[in-house]
Amino acid sequence: MGWSVSRRRLIARRVRGRFAPRIQDWRWMASLLAGALACGGAQSELDTTEGLDDGSAPSATSNDESEAADDEASDDESPSPDGDSTDCEDIQVRAPLRRLTRFEYSNTIRDLFADDTQPGNKLPSEELGNGFGNDAESMSASSLLVEQYGNVGEEIGQRAVANKDVLERFAPCAHDVALTDEAECAATFVNNLAPLAYRRPLTDAEIAELLDLHHRLRQDSADFATSLVALIEVVLHSPEFLYRFEWGDGSAEDKPRRLSGFETATRLAFLFWGTAPTKELLQQAADGGLDDDDEVRSTAERMIDDPRSRSTLRFFFDHFLPISSLAQLERDDELFPTFHAAVGAAMREEIHQLLEYEIFDGPGTWAHALTAPYTFVNGELADFYGISGVDGEAFQRVDWDDEPRRGILTSAGLMAGTTHANFTSPVIRGSYIVQRLMCIEVPPPPADLEDEIKPPDPAEGGTARDRYEQHSEDPACASCHVLMDAPGFALENYDAVGLWRDRENGFEIDPEVDMVGVGQVDGPLALGEALAASELVDACFARNWGNFAYGLTMGEQDECLRLDVERAFARADGDIRQFLVELTQTDAFRYLPPREAQP
């Protein structure tokens, strides 16, 4: 649908004019979010507990600077706002205002409009922040982002209105509507679309506002289809769609507020499916089916077993592990003639296949995923590894037997994703293990030393261990490198594309190390076993999932939240699937801070 310049200006004028101050306030609010937005003290004037067809309160945010601390009374009991807990006396949570990520935006548009174009990729990239791009406190809203929301929303609207199946879903009458029936048909369209987009029922005023836009556009000679495109654009540009406002259930001002059913549905949907709640899930919320912890648990179990959870799991591990860019790795063809883009892509898929098998069909724990005695390969990757008997594009399970590999830790993908282009770096690999898998913070080198101290040159010969041990004798380097180098040295038998080698530059590689916090480790397989047995690694894995689930980065003020997440992991006995279900039972998932705690 090509719009003329005059028609586009007409719609823009009406959207900005008639919906002022609403849309202008939305843009102003978005710009404030680049710093710190505090609108959580607002009072809801409507009952958020009403049914899906009766309307509920427009959402509000909670303070993004509230202190976070939550814990559970015991492994078997969940505290109430009035109860006591073992280590943290009160339920203290922080719930920063969350904006849809590009991943969530694309998924939601796909589910609303059967649109697989991934329009979120046209939006500016998020700052990684907590590593997943969904840390609410690092998600600034630039003028470019606001502009792109408008451009992308128009394109989505045009595709949606041109799709007969989409029109059939929201307003069958729109196929061939008579002039006298347009108002009723537009109302049908709004009443079917907007509650799904806003993830809650609309108020009468909100519905009237959208219908008034349709009416004015028709008065200004826009045809019916154009008015529907404009309605979609406005809905997709609204903060109610872009942000996850939360008011709670109307609890007392001085106590933590339980999420409303619709807010719980939203958290469940984005945690497990990376998208907005379905009509069925919203109806469950309207019927009170998410007001009880046991109901939330059973719903979470159903949702994680749904195939839609796979894409969210892949998104998490694409960001937690250094594998998302394996197909784009550049390696010297003469040094690594068997590596190319298709192999890199297969390396990434190998890890995802292994993790999905572990979570849904295997032992299910992070520890076993790190050390599994099998993997999944297609013909391309089998040839790369030197495995016989596997052909074609389909991935199949193979056992490692006596091969020097176990689990994802020693997979070619993880090894290739933690090196320089054509030579290995014990520091990069070691730093990844220490900081990402163990959550041990390693301070950056002093600024005055960064230009003076350079990594050792591979041209110096010897093994990487020889070069780096000599390099790290410098006292300025030793304090940090004593943490990072050892696990990197233990993995030096894998080259820059993850293939096994016994020697480097003609010298035998020595993978035996004494690792801080772990002890003596003799090579990569022993390292994997040590990490799999480490409580620190378990706690770090749980903490990363907590950051991802709650859209924040746990800091010193989040000690109780950290304990709550780690206890959820312990209750699940390390089972990843069950752990994600247990996260829905934590205070941070169920409650908002007291309003009086917010500025």
- Mind listing the pLDDT tens digit for each residue in 164-198? 999 999 999 998 887 778 999 999 999 999 999 99
Q: Tell whether 379 and 506 lie within a shared domain.
A: yes
Q: Tell whether 518 and 393 lie within a shared domain.
A: yes
Give the end of a domain, one of 513, 532, 551: 532
Report yes or no on 375 lying in a domain: yes
Q: Tell whether 116 and 226 lie within a shared domain.
A: yes
Q: Print the SS3 string covering 266-311.
A: HHHHHHHCCCCCCHHHHHHHHCCCCCCHHHHHHHHHHHHHCCCHHH
Q: Tell whether 345 and 214 lie within a shared domain.
A: no
Cα–Cα distance, 330 to 416 (Å, whole number): 10
Report yes or no on 345 lying in a domain: yes
Q: Which two tokens stand for residue 366?
A: 């992070």
Give the end of a domain, one of 506, 532, 558: 532
Cα–Cα distance, 21 to 373 (Å, whole number): 61
pLDDT tens-digit map of 230-281: 999 999 999 999 999 999 987 666 788 899 999 999 999 999 999 999 999 9
Average pLDDT over residues 497-520: 92
CA 104 to chain CA centroid, nearest Å: 8
Q: Tell whether 233 and 372 lie within a shared domain.
A: no
Report yes or no on 303 lying in a domain: no
Instruction: Yes or no: say if 477 and 452 are a contact pair by the CB < 8 Å rule.
Output: no
Report yes or no on 321 lying in a domain: no
Q: What is the pLDDT of residue 405?
A: 96
Name the domain count of the chain. 2
Report yes or no on 377 lying in a domain: yes
Give the end of a domain, one of 500, 517, 532: 532
Report yes or no on 287 lying in a domain: no
Name the pairing type of β-strands 98-99 and 512-515.
unpaired
Q: What is the pLDDT of residue 475?
A: 65
Q: Tell whether 223 and 350 lie within a shared domain.
A: no
Q: Tell whether 236 and 373 lie within a shared domain.
A: no
Torsion from C-alpha of 362, 364, 366, 367, nearest 10 degrees: -60
Q: Tell me whether residue 216 is exposed, middle or buried, using C-beta atoms within 10 angstroms of its C-beta: 0 to 12, 13 to 18, 19 or more.
A: middle
Average pLDDT over residues 378-385: 98
Q: Tell whether 361 and 463 lie within a shared domain.
A: yes
pLDDT tens-digit map of 291-300: 999 999 999 9
What is the span of the domain harbouring residue 20? 5-32+98-131+142-244
Q: Tell whether 234 and 346 lie within a shared domain.
A: no
Which of 3-12, 26-35, 200-209 has maximum average pLDDT?
Answer: 200-209
Confidence at 222, pLDDT banded by 50, 70, 90? confident
Q: Tell whether 237 and 343 lie within a shared domain.
A: no
**Is the pLDDT at 567 greater than 60, yes or no?**
yes
Q: What SS3 class is residue 115?
A: coil
Q: Which residue has the higher pLDDT, 555 or 122?
A: 122
Q: In this structure, what are the phi and psi dihedrals at residue 510, rounded to the nearest 5 degrees?
A: -105, 105
Q: Tell whether 364 and 233 lie within a shared domain.
A: no
Q: Tell whether 229 and 344 lie within a shared domain.
A: no
Q: pTM (2 decimals)? A: 0.84
Question: Measuring CA to CA, how many Å separate 175 from each of 157, 185, 196, 225?
Answer: 16, 10, 21, 9
Q: Which two tokens stand for residue 78?
A: 């969940």
Q: What is the pLDDT of residue 451?
A: 63
Report yes or no on 322 lying in a domain: no
The set of long-range contacts for 176-184, using a CB threshold of 8 Å and a minimum separation of 24, is 177/224, 182/218, 182/224, 183/211, 183/214, 183/215
Contacts of residue 62, Cβ cutoff 8 Å, sequence gap at least 6: 40, 94, 95, 96, 97, 246, 248, 592, 593, 595, 598
Name the pairing type of β-strands 512-515 and 507-508.
unpaired
Q: What is the pLDDT of residue 519?
A: 87
Report yes or no on 509 lying in a domain: yes
